[in-house]
């Protein structure tokens, strides 16, 4: 660019649309202009360049964003500070407590140390990609790295809605695919084995409800007697018990579909009556020290049951009786697979299990066990062998 063209370009930029000055002591040129912010005020914006032309180009680029209706942030957020702001003002207010704890831990342990120092407005795809790839190289599981991207993406989506950024760079990163480990639910014989072997265990009624209805562990441990109507034969699932942070808390069920009414079948009725009698006996033993929490399942001294203790008891029964060990949550898959074998329509199974979407039920229903696979291929072979 000739000196005359440069002077012409400079005169244009000085015409009430911003200024470019320099060079400064560090050799750079600085451009500045006033721009509207997302909070409704005006803010002086600065851009820098090694040459006058470079500073001018950057000034024009920033001004073009304003013309397109993209205001600048009222506050010069850094990623770490914005994550804290988002967690407290959005996640904590709108998500379940367990979700807040998971997101806060992910942000504190990984995102803030790795990306917190960057300016939110200038965070790039390359910076996020290098951060995520570095975590994989360090040996972090793919599941954890996918969670890091999920939390960051959720925060950046909110920042985009607040017009603090123009795009969600986390969505533009790439990660190797991750699939949860395949669930191998119990067969009907294995389910019967745990119910027969664990009859003397204090948690036996819990296992009955987990298998008979496919209820979530927290839903069973949070069940209240006011939600159990033995006369009309209905269990109303309305809350769950979870360990959140350092304490046990009762709260709403996982999804709106989780609020459901279930008929009390004979197997469940027997288990609930046994539990009722046992709780009455415990009340007699502890006397005034026994506090009525209203929960169906409590310790002998009336405290809520720690979910981890239930898991330990479950594993102990399996080990003692040589039953294949699965996760307690996989009992839910077991119920779903048994409903499938009984040819229960997926929509009905969805209502029983409390899935928010029938697609979730269908994913479980598509698990074909070895027995079903053998029967299907034998039938096909017979059909193809006909003369």
Closest CA to 252 of 261, 241, 239: 239
Closest CA to 221 of 303, 121, 152, 164: 303
Q: Which residues pair with 236 in a beta bridge?
A: 261
Q: What is the per-residue burial (b if ≥16 Cβ within 10 Å, else e) of 241-258? A: bbeeeeeebbeebbeebb
Phi, then psi, of 339 in degrees rounded to 5: -65, -40
DSSP secondary structure letters along 108-123: IIIIHHHHTTSBGGG-
190, with CB counted inside 10 A (0-12, 13-18, 19+), is middle
Q: pTM for the whole thing?
A: 0.71
pLDDT tens digits, residue range 348-357? 999 999 998 8
Q: ω before 23 within 30° of 0 (cis)?
A: yes
pLDDT tens digits, residue range 22-36? 888 888 999 888 877
Instruction: Tokens 């948690």: give the residue.
Output: 203
* pLDDT for position 270: 94
| Tokens encoding 124 | 């790039």
Query: What's the angle, vertex CA 347, arms to CA 343 and CA 350, rounded to 5?
Result: 100
CATH architecture for segment(s) 79-172: Orthogonal Bundle (1.10)
> What average pLDDT score do residues 47-68 get?
85
* pLDDT for position 271: 94
Q: Which residues are CB-contacts of 335 (< 8 A; sequence separation ≥ 6)?
A: 210, 211, 212, 213, 214, 352, 353
* pLDDT for position 7: 44
Q: How far is CA 219 from the centre of its chain?
A: 18
Under 8 Å between Cβ of 267 and 261: no
Under 8 Å between Cβ of 112 and 70: no
* pLDDT for position 348: 93
> What average pLDDT score do residues 49-78 get?
80
* pLDDT for position 75: 64
* pLDDT for position 381: 75
Bridge pairing between strands 239-244 and 247-252: antiparallel
pLDDT tens digits, residue range 134-163? 999 999 999 999 999 999 999 999 998 887
> What average pLDDT score do residues 289-313 get?
92
Name which residue leads in pLDDT, 378 or 219. 219
> What average pLDDT score do residues 306-329 get?
93
Q: Which residues are CB-contacts of 340 (< 8 A; sequence separation ≥ 6)?
A: 349, 364, 365
The helix (H) or strand (E) run that includes residue 50 is none
Give the CATH number of domain 188-370: 1.10.443.10
Q: Domain coordinates of the chain in residue numbers?
A: 3-67, 79-172, 188-370
> What average pLDDT score do residues 179-191 get?
86
* pLDDT for position 2: 42
Confidence of residue 169 (pLDDT cuts 50, 70, 90): very high
| Tokens encoding 129 | 């990609």
Does the pLDDT of residue 368 top 90, yes or no?
A: no
Does the pLDDT of residue 191 top 80, yes or no?
A: yes
Name which residue leads in pLDDT, 134 or 183. 134
Under 8 Å between Cβ of 237 and 215: yes
| Dihedral sign for Cα atoms in the order 285, 290, 292, 293 | negative
Closest CA to 17 of 38, 6, 31: 31
> 350: left (phi > 0), else alpha (psi -120 to 50), else beta?
alpha
Distances (CA, A) of 40 to 72, 74, 75, 163, 314: 10, 8, 12, 12, 58
Does the pLDDT of residue 179 top 80, yes or no?
A: no
């Amino acid at each position: 660019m000739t000196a005359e063209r440069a002077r012409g370009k400079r005169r244009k930029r000085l015409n009430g649309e911003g200024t470019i000055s320099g060079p400064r002591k560090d050799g750079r040129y600085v451009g500045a202009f006033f721009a509207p912010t997302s909070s409704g005020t005006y803010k002086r914006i600065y851009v820098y360049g090694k040459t006058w032309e470079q500073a001018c180009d950057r000034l024009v680029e920033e001004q073009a964003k304003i013309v397109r209706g993209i205001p600048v942030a009222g506050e010069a957020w850094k990623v770490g500070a914005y994550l804290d702001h988002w967690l407290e003002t959005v996640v904590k207010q709108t998500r379940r407590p367990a979700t807040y704890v998971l997101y806060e831990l992910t942000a504190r342990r990984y995102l803030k140390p790795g990306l917190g120092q960057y300016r939110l407005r200038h965070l790039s795809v390359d910076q996020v990609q290098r951060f995520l790839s570095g975590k994989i190289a360090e040996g972090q599981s793919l599941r954890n790295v996918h969670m890091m991207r999920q939390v960051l993406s959720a925060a950046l989506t909110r920042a985009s809605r607040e017009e603090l950024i123009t795009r969600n760079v986390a969505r533009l990163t790439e990660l190797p695919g991750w699939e949860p480990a395949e669930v191998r639910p119990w067969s009907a014989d294995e389910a019967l084995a745990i119910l027969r072997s664990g009859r003397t265990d204090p948690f036996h009624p819990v296992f009955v409800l987990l298998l008979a209805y496919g209820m979530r562990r927290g839903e069973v441990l949070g069940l209240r007697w006011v939600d159990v109507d033995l006369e009309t034969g209905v269990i109303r699932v309305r809350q769950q018990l979870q360990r959140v942070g350092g304490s046990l808390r009762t709260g709403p069920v996982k999804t709106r579909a989780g609020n459901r009414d279930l008929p009390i079948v004979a197997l469940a009725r027997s288990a609930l009556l046994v539990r009722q009698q046992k709780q009455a006996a415990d009340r007699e033993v502890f006397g005034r020290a026994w506090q009525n929490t209203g929960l169906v399942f409590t310790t002998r001294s009336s405290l809520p049951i720690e979910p981890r203790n239930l898991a330990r008891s479950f594993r102990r029964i399996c080990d003692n009786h040589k039953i294949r060990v699965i996760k307690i949550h996989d009992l839910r898959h077991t119920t779903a697979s048994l409903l499938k074998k009984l040819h229960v329509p997926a929509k009905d199974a969805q209502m029983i299990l409390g899935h928010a979407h029938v697609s979730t039920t269908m994913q479980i229903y598509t698990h074909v066990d070895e027995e079903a696979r053998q029967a299907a291929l034998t039938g096909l072979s017979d059909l193809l062998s006909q003369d």
